[in-house]
A and B are shown apart, each in its own frame.
Chain A
Amino acid sequence: MNASFAMLTSSPEVLQSTRGGARVSAIGARAFLLEALGEFDLASQRRIWALSRAVEAWDDISEIVPGMTNLLVIFKEIPEDPEPPVTRILEAWDGARSIDLNGKTIEIEVCYGGEHATDLPALCDRSGLSDREVIRIHHEATYRVFALGSAPGFGYLHGLDPRIYMPRKTVPSINMARGCVTIGGMQTGVAVLTGPNGWNSIGFAELRMFDPSSATPAIMAPGDTVRFVPVRVEL
């Protein structure tokens, strides 16, 4: 155990270790969450991708779930003592060098505005921009898939222009359609299920993001580049 290793335990039962700009905590007995403590940016996420690759190769791993600048590690067996796995994860983080995933580029055709763009007026109000400017800023940016989660095949896209930042709604839309192109805080994405949704819809995409019968059910993968192509603008 080196000097930078600090067990930050305000009560003795709470497992929580921090070192090298990351902390690890337990979720239940078999799962551990490593969170990068730095900025929410591509550099942090690249290091999470590197860590994911390293940890996934361990033979005692049941499953890993990369999140937004964090990684959930689920072991096959419950460790008798949680400290060795926590130390192993932190050491792997120390050794994780930023990698860039060789993702593919996905072009998603979008109809901006129209009946599905239920939150475009609110976004204009908040940003002080016209609807055309909001749409232009959204489709001119290039996005990276940081992680998948929340719903089958849903990709969290990073790279939103801060001018069109829009916080998640406190009261979600009850029945937002699959395909809605949405903004949630500094992230954007395409709804993959019809149902309650707290993100803000500005358009609609026909592309199916998930097919359970396919060998690769999710179209997106972490590291992919996404561009939105406006095929129609209805204002």
Chain B
Amino acid sequence: MIEIIETGPFNTVQDLGRPGYRKIGVTASGAMDPFGLKIGNVLVGNAPGAAAIEVQTFPFRLRFTGPVVFTVTGADCGAKLDEHPLLPWCTHAADAGQALELGRPRTGARAYLCFAGGLDVEPVMGSRSTSLRGAFGGNGGRFLTATDRLALCAETSGHRPRAGISVVDPAFALADHLPTSDDGSLIIRALPAGEHDLFGNDAERFWTQIWQISSKSDRTGYRLSGEPVKPTTPVEMRSHGVVPGVIQVPPSGEPIVQMSDANTAGGYPKIAGVIDADLWRLGQARIGSRVRFVRATHREALDVEKAMTLFLDDVRVTCGMVTRALNTMA
């Protein structure tokens, strides 16, 4: 059991979401940085999609009511266990009564607290993620608040998870597969979408200009500030299904990137769609930061996804081996 001592708003229980229900209007939800969540879960011996706490407002503090192996992945937020600094992307053992504190992130926007066993909240429609819009799932369909208590599931890996196992931050480990820029803006790969060409010359400017993530951004979507892009003539669309990553342009001309709590349907013209393999990087982008979109191909999107899958497989295999070895020696 863990008990929340202090939290800002907007921190929720998340897993990999509940895809499959968009056709009845239910948002998939799930972690904004699913890669960070998966790595964290694998480190503590969980299935990649076990439920964890997504922390996006800081400071955040919780107390352990029993011994637990846990890890903090995603944003580097200077985690401390009873004032002792903790390595991120590393497993740690907490004893009953110890307090974990996360401070303002040095890099990234969202941290994932993964616990051996995973959070034991009631699954709703196949997922433990919080659906804020529908007010169900996770911790009663709402944000975490101080004094909330969350139970943990029994460990399932068959071997006792150990402290001290760490991985390299995937932003470094996968650097060969992640584009960088000279000006510090985040480079996100996307494919042109259905109405791209209706934007005329503005379509090209969408790709060349640097956009800023506006303060009106949240888990539902990121609004981008910059010189507006507009279709050459107004576009009337019939409502259609959308997925996270779709970049829609409302009449204001400032694009919206749908994120994990994406609406299930939309009707604004679509200029592009972010590749799945870059959504986690966008999920770690902060309000006010700069982003530029580059064209990708299906082939490239597939290659990045393969590299990420290989990395995760490697973490799982290695972590399992090291854990078994440590348990044998113990």
Contacts and interface: CB of A to CB of B under 8 A. Distances in A.
Contacts of A33: 194, 240-241
15 contacts: A14-B192, A26-B193, A26-B273, A29-B191, A29-B301, A29-B302, A35-B194, A62-B20, A72-B242, A147-B239, A152-B25, A154-B25, A210-B24, A212-B137, A217-B24
Interface in B293-330: 295-299, 301-302, 305
What class of interface size applies to chain B in its complex with A?
35 or more
B298 A78 contact: yes
Interface string B240-282: 1111011000000000000000011100001001111000000
Contacts of A182: none
Interface residues of A, number: 51
Nearest to B246: A27
Q: Which 5 A-B pairs have the closest CB atoms?
A: A65-B241, A72-B241, A25-B194, A149-B265, A28-B273
Contacts of B197: 10-11, 14, 16
A64 interface: yes
A193 B265 CA distance: 15
Given A35-B240, A156-B239, A15 B191 contact: yes
A183 B50 CA distance: 41
Contact of B25 (A13, A63, A79, A149): A149
Nearest to A218: B24
Contacts of A77: 302
A25 B193 contact: yes
B157 to A, nearest CB: 26
Interface in B1-40: 19-27
Given A67-B240, A78-B301, 15 more contacts: A13-B295, A26-B193, A28-B274, A29-B276, A29-B302, A40-B238, A65-B240, A68-B239, A72-B22, A72-B243, A147-B23, A149-B23, A149-B241, A150-B25, A152-B26
Contacts of B191: 13, 15, 26, 28-29
A70 B273 contact: no
Contacts of B21: 217
Interface in A94-153: 147-153
B85 interface: no
A179 interface: no
A234 interface: no
B124 interface: yes
